[in-house]
Structure 1
Amino acid sequence: MAGRRLAREERRLQLLDTAMAIVRAEGAEALTLARVAEEAGVTKPVAYEHFETRTGLLTELYRRIDDQQTEAATTALRARVRSLEETVRILAEAYVDCVLHIGKEFGAVTAALSSIAGTEELLREGRERYAVLYLRAVERFVSLPEGEGKALMLGVVGAGEALAREATGGRLSRAEAVRAAERIMLGAVSTPGRAVAEPRATPR
């Protein structure tokens, strides 16, 4: 790929693929724009033109991971689900499986961003976007008090992140991580006395 002139978007994707490969092999500490340019076979100005700073590169990697996770859950939910339990299982499996597929890059990129001042909002927005997706899915079956649902789902997402990291590190099996994520989400939304609704239209 480096031997021919790529369109701008193709080049950006190539650089992101190269950056992800570096993180996978050596961790986020090894990631610099100069290193990405060298591995991709382009000049440093090309890498700087696309991302400007190392923080900009990490931000784009995080957004790519976040998009993959959201797409995995959305795709899984397109199947017809008939119960809250089935919805929760699909969400838990999609999240854990996506993180396992991405591998240790998930934790490395988020940890690197967490150590950089000014990136808190980016990470918060990512967690919030996923929490809203969860909330829309479970509210087809259970009525949550106004204002409480989003807070509950933010807690569920945080727990899912921790469990997925444990599975990625080999400290939990995939089945254990999924089962724990299911139980946490069901526990969050299935407080006695809450009404369970008939399923509404599947979210798009």
Structure 2
Amino acid sequence: MVVSRRLSRERRRAQLLDTALAIVRAEGADVLTLARLAEDAGVSKPVAYDHFETRTGLLIALYRRVDEQQTEMTRAALDAHANSLEETVRGLSEAYVDCVLHIGKEFGAVTAALHSLAGAEELLREGRERYAALYLRAVERFVRLPEAGGTALMLGVVGAAEALSREVTAGRLGRDAAVRATGHIMLGAVTAASLPAVP
């Protein structure tokens, strides 16, 4: 049954994304289609198609929304914990793991669905590179890293944080253990690669 409610385009899109995440959370990404989204959101199919055009467009929009939330949480953590390298690393580690926990298993389902789509790897790669750049800027306030290797180092840290967070959402690892491990990996990598301070 279609419910007609007048919302602004922005609010309608947010409602549709909320509904899509609820579907993924309850049943997985495989059942997510624009027709199913329209039905669960109480809108006509043309409304859903107008916002996302294709299932791929919907999955990309979901990924970008989660990516924005994670970036915002990371920046907030840096604002709150950025007085030393150790505090910065702890804040970054907590923000990554906590954001994945807040978003839940649906993020993993969305990224897994994207992996199966042509051209989506570029989107996922851009997301990883954005986090790596953010992490690099954060730690370089306290240490100097090699120009060529700093980004690669942070890409490795992001990959480790991603893997540990997946273990937490799967129930195989506790939140605190994942935060500690992510922090140890980041701090160890940064310390080992840091260059002497410029006199």
TM-score interval, normalised by the smaller of the two chains? over 0.9
Which amino acid letter does the alignment assign opposite residue 188 of structure 2?
A: G
* Cα deviation code 1:152-201 (max 9, x no counterpart): 1011101111000100111000011001100110111101763368xxxx
Partner residue in 1 for 2:121: 120
Are 2:77 and 2:92, in contact at CA under 8 Å, matched by a contact in 1? yes
Are 1:141 and 1:196, in contact at CA under 8 Å, matched by a contact in 2? no
Which amino acid letter does the alignment assign opposite residue 26 of structure 2?
A: A
Aligned residue pair count: 196
* Cα deviation code 1:33-70 (max 9, x no counterpart): 00000001111111011000000000000000000000
Which amino acid letter does the alignment assign opposite residue 143 of structure 1?
A: R
Partner residue in 2 for 1:74: 75
Hey, what's the Cα distance between the residues in 2 that align with 1:95 and 1:133? 12
Hey, what's the Cα distance between the residues in 2 that align with 1:69 and 1:78? 14
Partner residue in 2 for 1:84: 85
Provide TM-score, normalisation by structure 2.
0.95
Partner residue in 2 for 1:181: 182
Partner residue in 2 for 1:98: 99
Hey, what's the Cα distance between the residues in 1 that align with 2:128 and 2:194? 28
For residue 101 of structure 2, give the secondary structure of its aligned residue in structure 1.
Answer: helix
Higher RCO (Cα < 8 Å, 6 or more apart)? 1
* Cα deviation code 1:70-98 (max 9, x no counterpart): 00010111125221111100000000001
Provide the aligned C-alpha RMSD in A. 1.4
Which of the pair is proportionally richer in helix? 2
Change (3 A) 1:186 1:128: same
Are 2:143 and 2:194, in contact at CA under 8 Å, matched by a contact in 1? no
Hey, what's the Cα distance between the residues in 1 that align with 2:179 and 2:196? 25
- Give the unaligned 5+ runs of structure 1: 198-204
1:84-163 alignment, distance < 5 Å: 84-163=85-164
Provide TM-score, normalisation by structure 1.
0.93
Are 1:163 and 1:177, in contact at CA under 8 Å, matched by a contact in 2? yes
Identity of aligned residues (%): 73
